[in-house]
Copies of this chain bind each other. A is one copy, B any other.
Amino acid sequence: MTRRIGILTGGGDCPGLNAVIRAVAKSLMRQCGAEVVGIEDGFAGLMEASPRVRPLAWEAVSGILMRGGTILGTSNRANPLQDEATTARVLRHAQALQLEGLVVIGGDGTMALAHGLAQRGLRVVGVPKTIDNDIPGCERSFGFDTAVATVTEAIERLQTTAESHGRVMIVETMGRWAGWIALEAGLAGAADVILLPEIAFDVEAVAAVCRARAQRRRHTLVCIGEGARPAGGEPAVQAVHADRPEPLRLGGVAHVLAAALQPRVPVEVRATVLGHVQRGGSPTPFDRVLATQYGNEAAQLVMAGAWGRMVTLQQGRLSSVALADAAHGNRQVPLDHPLLRAARQIGVSLGEPAAG
């Protein structure tokens, strides 16, 4: 009998999702003649009264390697464990669709839901996804390289305009819990100051860098992760926006920092929040190759019947861990990471107060 495997993508989109879908589907079709079924809009496609699915023939997954986003759609909020009836419906749909198992591609939250369903009997293989590169136990996630490239390009553009005007230019990147994007893009874009969630920054230390550079008629480029916060400070953005409704909670920490810096420096301060562009676009060649490997590895797990496991990358090699053992939380930049040393030694400020 032909095997039938489902695929879904959950959580925020990420460059490389289509490359994973393609590699999973093609590998399963070619290696064991499986039928592959795409679930639409993440778990939402299984939660509704009638499931929203589509067969994924070879042609349907050809030509999608380079496309950003996910051809299956995704959802941020669908929770198949929200109540007993919903969970039952999801399991019933999976059975009615005659799915032998389900490949679930998603972030921390999606993996937790997949694990919950696995405990209820669904056969699941997980593929971790985040542009933030902060999955515990996973060295490098697909999508991160693309996000870094997008941010770096933006920083390069901002460098030339900042230089022409002798300004302090602040650019805010994604990375609520971990500073990988800000760190790597900041280094690649030759930022003068890099501020991360992992290292509380000192506004006066940042201002001192800007002033010293302004004195030499040099502009300053500050790259700040959205989760960075001033030493001793409360989460700054919330404070600023406490009085306004959601769609007017405009901007972020970059603007808050700009407001704090402006009175301390003798030049103009400007801020740019990169926002959603960081999630989109065609994956870099690096991410296409990496995502293809993740997808192909997931297919091996399916073919081996290794249900309940999640693909991971450790010491440069793909392997897997039990969904049950997958660590939660966020993998932050370790304070002894060689990139932090390199940054400091080449003269990049991390916003730390000058040594007494």
CB of A232 within 8 Å of the partner chain:
no
Choice from B26, B74, B185, B187 contacting A346 with Cβ under 8 Å:
B26
| Distance of A69 Cα from B158 Cα, bound (Å) | 10
Choice from B15, B157, B251, B256 contacting A280 with Cβ under 8 Å:
B157
B345 touches A280 (CB 8 A): no
Tell me whether A68 and B184 are in contact in the complex, defined as CB-CB below 8 angstroms, given that A248-B240, A272-B275, A339-B289 are known contacts. no
Residues of B within 8 A of A57 (CB): none
| Distance of A157 Cα from B315 Cα, bound (Å) | 31
CB of A161 within 8 Å of the partner chain:
yes
B299 touches A345 (CB 8 A): yes
Within A253-302, which residues are at the interface with B (CB < 8 Å)? Answer: 255-256, 258-259, 262, 269-273, 275-277, 279-282, 284-286, 288-289, 292-293, 296-297, 299
Chain A to chain B: the 7 pairs with minimum beta-carbon distance, closest first: A250-B251, A68-B160, A157-B280, A188-B285, A69-B160, A13-B164, A250-B250
Which A residues have a C-beta under 8 Å from some C-beta of B? 9, 12-13, 15, 17, 22-23, 26-27, 30-31, 41, 58, 63, 65-70, 73-76, 139, 145, 148-150, 152-154, 156-166, 169, 184-185, 187-190, 217, 240, 245, 247-248, 250-251, 255-256, 258-259, 262, 269-273, 275-277, 279-282, 284-286, 288-289, 292-293, 296-297, 299, 315-316, 318, 338-339, 341-342, 345-347
